[in-house]
Amino acid sequence: MDKTINVGLIGFGTIGSGVVEILNQNLDLVEGKAGVKIRLKKVVDLDITTPRGVEIDPKILSTDVSEILEDPEINIVIELIGGYEPALSFILKAMENGKPVVTANKALLAKHWEEIIKSSKMNNVRICFEASVGGGIPLLGPLNESLAANHIQSIYGIINGTANYILTKMTEENRNFEDMLGEAQDKGYAEQDPTFDIEGFDTAQKLIILTILGFGVYIKQEDFHVEGISKITQEDIKFTQDDLGYTIKLLAIGKMVNGELEVRVHPTLIPQNHLLASVRDVFNGIYIVGDAMGPVMMYGQGAGMMPTASAVIGDCLDIIKNMDKEVLYGPKYTQVKKIKDIKDITSRYYIRMTVIDKPGVLHEISGILSDLNISIESVSQKKRSEGGEVPIFMITHEALEKNVQMAIKKIDKLDVVKKESLFIRVLDE
């Protein structure tokens, strides 16, 4: 191996440290598969004094990003600082200078996809981002290449470990949401401000990337429905599990229906015998259905230092093997004719209401549902408290979303309804 590929790493945090550790441990293996020598020439971070727990030559550490972006000897730039700026400027400058880029920055890709891909094409340099969705799970490469002969019919993803951990523990340990959120924060799975994870925004950003590769269209986050798990109660978990045979998961959904694409993120009732129902704790699972190959499931660690760093190194190898090839990013073909508004989807629904226990309440609620063409499949009231508050649980037959939304608004205006009602969509595939 006479040729040497020089790599510049921007961001020496958790994932960056993992990249350094993998190169320390497995360099011979990586070089053998690349067919070239790989040299980590420069590592840039604002803080280069705090120990990271990995061995690194202090001479390659710097706080000056120009030592990577402007160095003609550096062949590949890895961006792992996250966020929008200065990450976007660094990536664009690297590509302007003819340097291919590897990133795990799903937020940046989701928001600035068009600008980044335009620069990639203009400068004929690759940008690889396997680590941006699913951490160490080989997902985007297979979706873009191995499954390329398929019209993708649907993508269902559990792709946020924090939300999945909380829902798993609520299900298995009969704990409430607030307790499990606190435990997730104590274990470092959730940030002190957990909004990004528990309200579905992280999942939405990853779904944007999956939608680009799976269906050939770029959809901005503000253009589709995003809903989190903070309103899920132990009552919802217990009833749907024990009485209905479902598990509640925060699901990213991309689904083609007669040329119309549904893109949405929300809690979903999944049958307990479905493969996705078995995805526990902080693990991720992505279930893809293609017209030729049928269903396929990808499962593994969706975050963490070493799994994500593994995907980053894999992208570097991809770039090394394809350096001389023309950049062909961006969908050349899409079967999508229209993006379907969530109000126009149809689904079965689980509905939980808290009402005053007195005669005639159920009749009044049923009347509202009937007027909006919503048929009740089953109804249950778990406890009686004459004159007090009781929960009512319902499962509907398939109904139009906008009718369900309208029905819930009308139901919640009734004097007998004492808390905001909740509805959750059901996955029946």
- The string of DSSP codes covering 312-337 is HHHHHHHHHHTTTSPP--S-S-----
Residue given tokens 């992280």 in the structure block: 202
Angle between helices 361-371 and 401-412 (to 10 degrees): 150
Report the C-alpha gap between 135 and 189 in whole angstroms: 14
In contact, 178 and 244? CB cutoff 8 Å: no
Catalytic residue chosen out of the listed positions 42, 99, 206, 255: 206
Look at strands 4-10 and 76-79 and give their pairing: parallel
Q: Under 8 Å CB-to-CB from 313, ≥6 apart: which residues?
A: 19, 22, 23, 30
Cβ atoms of 189 and 310 closer than 8 Å: no
**What is the CA 322 to chain-centroid distance, rounded?**
27
What confidence score (pLDDT) does residue 329 get?
56
What span, in angstroms and rounded, lies between the C-alpha atoms of 329 and 334? 14
Other beta carbons within 10 angstroms of residue 127's beta carbon come to 22
Sort 186 into a burial class: Cβ within 10 Å, 0-12 / 13-18 / 19+: exposed
Sort strands 260-271 and 225-226 into parallel, antiparallel or unpaired.
Answer: parallel
CB 162 within 8 A of CB 298: no
What is residue 358's predicted lDDT score, i.e. its pLDDT? 84
DSSP secondary structure of 51-116: --SS---GGGEES-THHHHT-TT--EEEE-S-SSTTHHHHHHHHHHTT--EEE--HHHHHHHHHHH
Provide the pLDDT for residue 324. Answer: 73
3-state secondary structure (DSSP) of residue 156: strand
Token pair, residue 76, equals: 């590949």
Among 43, 209, 28, 180, CA closest to 113: 209
Max CA separation in the chain (angstroms): 85
Query: Residue 191: CA atoms inside 13 Å, Cβ hemisphere, count?
Result: 9
**Positions of the chain with pLDDT lower than 50, given as ranges:** none
Rounded CA gap, 349 and 395, in Å? 6
Q: Are 60 and 40 in contact (CB under 8 A)?
A: yes
Predicted confidence at residue 191, as pLDDT, reads 84
How much is the pTM?
0.94
Is residue 206 among the annotated active site residues?
yes
What per-residue confidence (pLDDT) applies to 6? 97
**How much is the pLDDT for 333?**
65
Count the neighbouring beta carbons within 10 Å of the beta carbon of residue 292: 8
Query: Number of C-alpha atoms within 13 angstroms, CB side, residue 232?
Result: 36
Cis before 331? omega within 30: no
Cα atoms in the Cβ-side hemisphere of radius 13 Å centred on 265 = 29
Q: Which pLDDT value is given to residue 105?
A: 96
Domains by residue range for the chain, with CATH: 4-136+307-321 (3.40.50.720), 158-300 (3.30.360.10), 342-426 (3.30.70.260)
329: Cα separation from own chain's centroid: 21
Q: pLDDT tens, 154-163?
A: 999 999 999 9
